[in-house]
Amino acid sequence: MSQAQPPADGPKKTRIQQKNRAAILEAALDVFSAHGFRGATIDQIARAAGLSKPNLLYYYPSKEAMFTTLMSNLLDTWLNPLRAMDPEGDPMAEILAYVARKLQMSRDYPRESRLFANEIVQGAPRMLETLSTELKELVEAKSAVIQAWMDAGKINQTHPKHLMFSIWALTQHYADFDVQVRTLMDGEDPYDAAPAHLETLFRRLLDPAQS
Amino acid sequence: MSQAQPPADGPKKTRIQQKNRAAILEAALDVFSAHGFRGATIDQIARAAGLSKPNLLYYYPSKEAMFTTLMSNLLDTWLNPLRAMDPEGDPMAEILAYVARKLQMSRDYPRESRLFANEIVQGAPRMLETLSTELKELVEAKSAVIQAWMDAGKINQTHPKHLMFSIWALTQHYADFDVQVRTLMDGEDPYDAAPAHLETLFRRLLDPAQS
DNA sequence: CCTGAGTTTGACCGGTTGGTCAAATCCGTG
DNA sequence: CACGGATTTGACCAACCGGTCAAACTCAGG
């Protein structure tokens, strides 16, 4: 009974809405990933999106809403590489492909990686629900697949979940700790050597030809 | 020329000062590591330390000062495991010991790990200087040691810096992404299997007996 | 128990921030 | 080109936040 009825989040309506909503989420990704939820301000996002602050709040009812919309939009993309791991494929090839895809994600979408990193490092106050349902389900399923591969002797025995943690840690590190990595490699692009390094690492870990 | 001369940061004076300075840094570690610099408030730290806000500012001139004091106090401890890597020791044993020590640090000092993670993920605005001098120096030195070990055929050839990144990523992941890890392992302590997992991983990567 | 340095705090300040609102402007459609 | 809904914005507000200050309190040494 006050604010000019803002558009519900449901179906996109006009082309202006589509354009502005997209611009806002893009700007929000920039700002949230660089400063975290608390560190980001609506004004910053507005400036980055080329809109006014009240205008942002016309499209999204609150800063929280921008954040959660952004998160849930991105989660699917983020989990795609894991979903793409094919139980019918060759185990070693599938895992190495997953590692490669995940590393490529770090390279192509570092902001998304840092967005999730920020949130999880701080205890995932706005994502615990998602972690313990959607992500957990996917991880359980893929763990079982990996376990089956191990039981079939296709790859070495290891703890499937710790294997997954290792893949996430190693690939996301290049995006999340980008500043540190680049500072220490002065000039050399980390992504020159990273793919080969990680492939070797996981191949040696998993190749059953080696004890 | 106003505020009752706050104690300089130099030598500790009274026992009250020692106790309160310590309590403040302890509380600051709690709050900064959980919310990041921007997300933390002086009031939160004050409450956690059992002191009033102006009282904190009597001991430290600003929030920034608390943060940087905390950071530089912790950095030494944080880098100790790497410093302890002995060029004269057995290469494989030295590296595996480093991994084990680093993992133990994640277990014993998760807040410290998250404090650094928060700062670096957000571009290390208050630490770039330190990274590019103190850390860089140490990393260059230890990289050379590792390279020498590789050249001597004691361990497999890999990129020394990427090896170090891998050690950091894998060990700190358990502290920095603790919520996620624990959510996905429902109940099982990640640190039960992590040491063996990481030892196997790095042993297989580095053991020169394997191609 | 007096004194002065050391310590603590309530009140306050200016700037920022998330969010509101009414009025103004825009824009597609008839 | 007129109209009504969609969009945009300047002004505003209350809460919060980092920091200041003068006054009050504590406490060790004489």
CATH code, domain carrying A116: 1.10.357.10
Phi, psi of B69 (to 5 degrees): -60, -50
Q: Which residue gives the smallest C-alpha to C1' distance to D7?
A: A55
- Between CA B100 and CA B189 the distance in angstroms is 17
Residues B78 and B165 in one domain: yes
User: How many distinct structural domains can be found in chain A?
Assistant: 2
Residue B193 · residue B124 · CB < 8 Å: no
Residues A44 and A100 in one domain: no
The last residue of a domain, from among A6, A35, A61: A61
- Written as six digits, the tokens of B169 are 């990523």
Residues B57 and B78 in one domain: no
CATH number where B29 lies: 1.10.10.60
Q: Is residue A67 part of a domain?
A: no
Residue A156 · residue A205 · CB < 8 Å: yes
- Between CA A146 and CA B57 the distance in angstroms is 54
- Residues B122, A118: C-beta atoms closer than 8 Å: yes
Q: Which nucleotides of D are covered by protein (CB under 7 A)?
A: 6-11, 16-24
- Residues B158, A200: C-beta atoms closer than 8 Å: yes
Residue A1: per-residue pLDDT: 38
Residue B1: per-residue pLDDT: 38
Q: Is residue A8 part of a domain?
A: no
Of B101, B28, B121, B203, nearest to A121 (Cα)? B121
Residue A27 · residue A111 · CB < 8 Å: no
Q: Is residue B167 part of a domain?
A: yes
- Between CA B182 and CA B177 the distance in angstroms is 9
- Residues A180, B205: C-beta atoms closer than 8 Å: no
Of A172, A176, A70, A80, nearest to B118 (Cα)? A176
DSSP summary character for residue B52: -
Judged by DSSP in three states, A39 sits in helix
Q: Which residue in A120, A158, A183 is closest to B132 by CB distance?
A: A183
Number of neighbouring beta carbons within 10 Å of residue B36: 24
Residues A78 and A140 in one domain: yes
Residues A19 and A114 in one domain: no
Residues B146 and B198 in one domain: yes
- Please give the nucleotide, over all strands, whose C1' is closest to the CA of residue B20: C7
Round to the nearest angstrom and report the end-to-end CA distance of chain A: 71
Q: Is residue B211 part of a domain?
A: no
Token pair 């992504």 is found at A191
Q: Which domain holds residue B53?
A: 15-61
Of B210, B181, B60, nearest to A159 (Cα)? B181
Length of chain A: 211
Of A67, A92, A75, nearest to A152 (Cα)? A92
Number of neighbouring beta carbons within 10 Å of residue B124: 20
The last residue of a domain, from among A61, A81, A116: A61
Q: Which nucleotides of C are covered by protein (CB under 7 A)?
A: 6-11, 16-24, 27-28
Residue A7: per-residue pLDDT: 57
Residues B82 and B111 in one domain: yes
Residues B57 and B156 in one domain: no
Torsion of CA A191, B169, A179, B113, to 10 degrees: 180
The last residue of a domain, from among B61, B85, B116: B61
DSSP summary character for residue A127: T
Q: Is residue A107 part of a domain?
A: yes
The reply to whether B42 has its C-beta less than 7 Å from any atom of strand C is: no
Residue B46 · residue B52 · CB < 8 Å: yes
**Residue ranges in chain A whose pLDDT is less than 50:** 1-2
Residues B34 and B87 in one domain: no
- Written as six digits, the tokens of A11 are 């179906």
CA B40 – C1' C16 distance (Å)?
15
Residue A207: per-residue pLDDT: 97
Distances (CA, A) of A108 to A45, A96, A97, B2: 22, 18, 16, 53
CB pairs under 8 A between A and B: 156
Residue B8: per-residue pLDDT: 63
Residues A99 and A194 in one domain: yes
Q: What's the pLDDT tens digit per position in A148-165?
A: 999 999 999 999 999 999
Residues A100 and A160 in one domain: yes
Number of neighbouring beta carbons within 10 Å of residue B182: 15
Residue B24: per-residue pLDDT: 98
The CA distance from B7 to the nearest CA of chain A, in Å, is 31
The CA distance from B89 to the nearest CA of chain A, in Å, is 23
Q: Is residue B52 part of a domain?
A: yes
Residue A14: per-residue pLDDT: 80
Nearest-10 crossing angle of helices A160-176, B190-206: 70
- Between CA B94 and CA A183 the distance in angstroms is 25
**Residue ranges in chain B whose pLDDT is less than 70:** 1-12, 211
Residue B210: per-residue pLDDT: 73
- Residues B194, A161: C-beta atoms closer than 8 Å: no
CA A209 – C1' D29 distance (Å)?
78
Residues B121 and B145 in one domain: yes
- Residues B162, A193: C-beta atoms closer than 8 Å: yes
Of B16, B167, B187, nearest to B98 (Cα)? B167
Q: Is residue A162 part of a domain?
A: yes
Q: Is residue A6 part of a domain?
A: no
